[in-house]
Amino acid sequence: MVGVDEPVRVVEVVAYDPTWPEQFETERQLLADALPQAVSIEHIGSTSVPGLAAKPIIDIIAVVPDVKEVAADVSALERHGYVFRP
């Protein structure tokens, strides 16, 4: 329950955008460059489902053998505009 003094968060849901797969592919390529050790990089969440209305945010999961190794040096991710938020 939201208190009287707390801001109300609005969740925007929009009609399916046929460019979402292309947007994912662009990000997948950047992540593949930054994470050569990645086992897979997948488009997940509601924007990955063709025809489904969704929050207009491309959700991505990158599977790596050792996340501690990636977290130890995030400079390659930062060069592509990603921000490390542990």
More confident: 29 or 8: 29
| Stated pTM of the model | 0.84
Residue identified by tokens 């609005």 is 10
User: Nearest to residue 40, comparing CAs of 66, 63, 67, 68?
Assistant: 63
Distance in angstroms (rounded) separating the CA atoms of residues 79 and 10:
31
Beta bridge partners of 60: 43
Section 3-15 average pLDDT: 88
Structure tokens at 58: 């491309």
Domain locations along the chain: 20-79
The answer to whether the CB of 42 falls within 8 A of the CB of 61 is: yes
Q: Which of these CATH numbers, 3.30.460.10, 3.40.190.10, 3.30.420.40, 3.90.1150.10, describes 20-79? A: 3.30.460.10
The whole-chain average pLDDT of the chain stands at 94
